[in-house]
Amino acid sequence: MTIKEKLQSLGIVVPKMAPKGVGNYVSWTVSNNILYTSGQLPWKNGEFGVLAYTGRVGSDLNIKEGYECARICAINAISQLIDAVRDLERVKKIIRLDCHIQAAEGFKDHSDVLDGASDVMNQVFGERGIHTRSAIGIYQAPLNVPVIVYLIAEID
């Protein structure tokens, strides 16, 4: 099954246009066959300016909503992959997911939130999707987003 077929079978709709950055930077770059994305935000349906969620996980959002937020960020990261390589079959390996979680004081379930992004990569890319990761709690995030996901992938 191709990655495109896998996305369809999972009911995952990837935005047709990769979300643009909100500052003076590029959304992705490639160096020596390694693709790095800038932080992916939870844009609703990939639409710039329309956030699916805002606030802090652990006070404004529960873990399930944080998980969904990370999932949306991962789907937006896949959109960046498509923008960069055109054909997802060129993705050899998802190397790493890094995540910043705007969390309430005392929140300790960062890993459960990041599972939303990890599950997408593992389901969509199979063996090629198994990755390393880090989930870091932060006090304040740009645009008051609860989750920001960064992706590093090897491409051919």
Domains, the chain, ordered by start: 26-155 (3.30.1330.40)
| Both tokens assigned to 107 | 């929140």
Q: Which residues are 149's β-sheet partners?
A: 40, 99
CA distance 120 to 112: 13
Instruction: Tell how many helices (H) and how many strands (E) occur in the chain.
Output: 3, 5
| Both tokens assigned to 151 | 């992706």
pTM here is 0.96
| Both tokens assigned to 95 | 């190397």
CA distance 73 to 71: 5
DSSP 62: -
Reading the chain (156 residues) residue by residue, the pLDDT tens digits are: 999 999 999 999 999 888 888 889 999 999 999 999 999 999 988 777 899 999 999 999 999 999 999 999 999 999 999 999 999 999 999 999 999 999 999 999 999 999 999 999 999 999 999 999 999 999 999 999 999 999 999 999
